[in-house]
Each structure stands twice: as C-alpha cells, then as structure tokens.
Amino acid sequence: MYYIGLDLGTSALKLLLMSGQGEICKIISKEYPISFPKPGWSEQNPVDWWNAAVDGIRELVRDVVDKNQIKGISFGGQMHGLVVLDKDDHVIRPAILWNDGRTAEECKYLNEVVGTEKLSQYTANIAFAGFTAPKILWMQKHEPENFRKIHKIMLPKDYLAYRLSGVFCTDVSDASGMLLFDVEHKCWSEEMLNICGIKREQVADIYESYEAVGTITSEAAGELGLPQNVKIIAGAGDNAAAAIGTGTVGDGRCNVSLGTSGTIFISSKNFGVDENNALHSFAHADGHFHLMGCMLSAASCNKWWMEDIIGTKEYGKEQESVQNLGENHVFFLPYLMGERSPHNDPDARGAFIGMSMDTKRSDMTLAVLEGVAFAMRDSLEVAKSLGIDIKRTTICGGGAKSLLWRKIMANVLNLEVDIIESEEGPGYGGAILAAVGCGEYDSVEEAAKKLVKVVDTVKPDSELVKKYEKRYKIFRQIYPNLKFLYPML
C-alpha cells in the first residue's frame, strides 16, 4: 500500500509518497509565488496551491504501476492562513498568511477590550497577529463587501482537502491556531464566533488529524489519475504534522523545527495552558495536546542573509569559514517579520548589533544562526518556568540539514539533538496520518514508534554550553532595550 503526504509550505508544496512500511519512495516539490502587497503583509492565491497539488500528484504517482495500491492522502499545512470562499466556492481574495502582520489593531482590541483572560478561557490562547480571528476582524473592517460574501472560512491545507474530497473540514491541531477553537473541549468557541461576527455554518466540521473525512471525488480522481476509493485524511497543521514525522508523540517529547518559521514543540497527554500565554496551547495530531513556541523567521533569516544580502546560494561553503563558536561579538535579532513567541510584537524587526572594524562576514553569518537559536531558547525558558523538564529534542526543517546549525542548537539549548532518518517532517507526518486513517496502523503513536528512526545525536559540549550561556544572557537584554524604537520605524 502507498500513502501520500502533502506539505503545504509558504514557498512550495512538497509531495511525498510513502509505503505502508514507512519507506519514502519519492519526493517532489512544486513552488508557487508569495506576494507582499505592503510592508508586513503576506498573501498567496489558494488556486496556486491546488495547481501545484494537481501537477505534483500526477508526477508523484506516475511510476506507480498499480494505482489501486494508493490508499490515502493527508496533509501538513502552513497554519493560521485565512482562506475565504463565496457561495459558488470561488476564492474571494488572496489568502492572508500566517506571517502577515497587518492585524495589530485587531489584536489590541481582542487582547485589551475583550481581554486576554476571556480569550484564554474561550480558546486557551490570546491574540497574535498571525492568528486567523484577527484577520477576520480586519477583513470585516477594511473589506466589508468581501466579508459579506463569505460562505466558507478555511485554513490553507483544508482548501486542498475540500478540492480533493468535497468535504468542508478541518482538524483539531490546525483549528487550534485560529483563536476560534475551544482547545480543551475540541469544539468551536461560540463566544469567539460571535465576537468575530461569523456563523457556525461558515466554519468547517472538525476531525481528529488521523480521521478520514471522505474519499476523493470522481472529478478529482479523474484529474489526478487516481482510483475513486482513495481516502482523504484530515491531516494537521505543519508543526503538529512535523511532530508526527519526528516521533514527537505521547508525553514530554520535544521537536525543534527550523523551517521558514521556527518552533519548539512539546507534546503532552494532558491539556495545559501557559498562564502568561507566551506559548501556544494547541491540540496535537496524536489525539492529545501540545505546547508550542513559534518564532516567525528562522531558516528564512539565513535565506535572507545568504541570498538577498551577500548574494550566494552556497550555504555550506559560506559556513565553512565560521569558527570560534560561543565567542562571537556580533548579535542578530531574527525578527524580520515581527515576532510571536514570546514577545507577541508584530512591530519588532531584525537587527545586527556589536559590529566593529574587525568584524568579518563569517561573524555576521554566525550571528544569524546563533540569533535564531537564542530566540528559540527564549521559548524553551518559558517551558522550563512551567516545570517542564526537557533533556533532548528531535530536529527537522530545511535549517536542520546544516551540521553547524545543529551543533549551535544543541549547545545554546543545552539539549541532546536527535537526527531523524527522514528530514521530511510535515510531509512524512502527513503520510503517516494517511496510513493510520486507512487502518495500516491502529494509532499515531504505534505508527510513529515503528516508522520514525533516530540515526544520529548531537550532544552539547559542556565548555561551549558555558560560553553560550554568557552570550544568551546578553542576547535576552537586547530586545527590551530596542522595543520602544520599533513603532517609530
């Protein structure tokens, strides 16, 4: 049997074909454009995602001799994006993405007028600029004609699920990031729907991430060259799917993701809330819950520095000249798109500080990698303050391919970092969810235990940990001292 995992990212759709035994048979990537209409805005056309899915699935299954062996399709998708359809299922406006920062006023209204205490009571979270509910309020205020046309509100991966199955659905992990969802009870919050001026029928039916929502439509099956009995499984938000793909299930497991954004993801059997709401409290794709710290720019910081600033795509070669870890005098704040955890500041911006006449290009490169690690440490410190004791973590995402960055992460976080055989976190997690939804495995935990394999571990070095501890204490003072400047910029 074969299962397809679709990783709907910000820059590309990655498609993965997995056998029932967990072997990755084929991986394909299809890019699509992203637009930034105004500073801090970020949008995409959902139809581009569908076109990428059609082309990608056709190519992915081209060499499968017996298409009847393809049993299920599932997803890991970029979270929080606002996708709106009219009564004829046409996309009303470009999707407003997770890293869009236009909703500062709406977040202020939700957090200060409605109040963080009520928001946390209703949804287990507070308003962040990237979340979906503030975008709905923004649309209501700034695009009232479009707002009145809304028939369906969905998340990015759920648009693909809808086009494939005809079922208006979402899953608990992705819905958790909308600020419309009662995470503890896994249902829509009537209070939040009322606050945002939307009706229950405008939001999707809710499924666990591993549940089948239906089968592929005859129209989609014909377009893709697939049999009509292929099951469509609800799938998960990208971070929850990546956690499945790295075996971060059950209680007290941790995963660090170095993708476009960066996350530290801590799984739990029990529902819990960070009382300061610096970490998100979400449902997990394994049927339980998790806490997550999310920074908006992680590997994207390195891409920006390498390609846009110094003009190279030879990442590995650029890192070869980096030396003297833990002794760098240059610091970098990785807030290129504002920041979420733990600062919740859409106005925050990136900064280099500490340069002198002897600063080299390699020092700046190292500062970018360290800055992302330090910012990730900020969220880990919040978890520690809650009494959560983490000793090791898995790692995934494009940034995790860098041996240097893995070493930096291990020593800045002071955690053992496990390297997984498959680095395709969300896509592999999506394929695993498809296998569970089709009955290949009895549970997500069983599948992850059997399929996810650790092939290497990076252990922290005690001397380097001490050096980075000193540097981190300096780093954490920089943002508070620059914060007052950001609104002026």
Q: Which residues are catalytic, by number? A: 238
Q: Is 79 annotated as a binding residue?
A: yes
Structure tokens belonging to residue 465: 């940990």
Q: How many CB atoms lie within 10 A of CB 369?
A: 28
Phi-psi region of 124 (alpha: psi -120 to 50; beta: other; left: phi over 0): left
Phi-psi region of 387 (alpha: psi -120 to 50; beta: other; left: phi over 0): left
Angstrom distance (rounded) from CA 343 to CA 379: 10
Taking alpha carbons only, the member of 381, 382, 408, 378 closest to residue 395 is: 408
Tracing tokens 């308003």 back to the chain, one arrives at 127
Contact by Cβ (8 Å): 328, 469? no
Q: Is 80 annotated as a binding residue?
A: yes
State the pairing for strand pair 262-268/254-258: antiparallel
Structure tokens belonging to residue 8: 């709907």
Rg of the chain over Cα atoms, rounded to whole angstroms, equals 21
Taking alpha carbons only, the member of 248, 285, 314, 277 closest to residue 116 is: 277
Contact by Cβ (8 Å): 248, 267? yes
Task: Render 106-122 in DSSP notation, one character per residue.
Answer: HHHIIIIIIIHHHHHHH
The binding site for substrate comprises 79-80
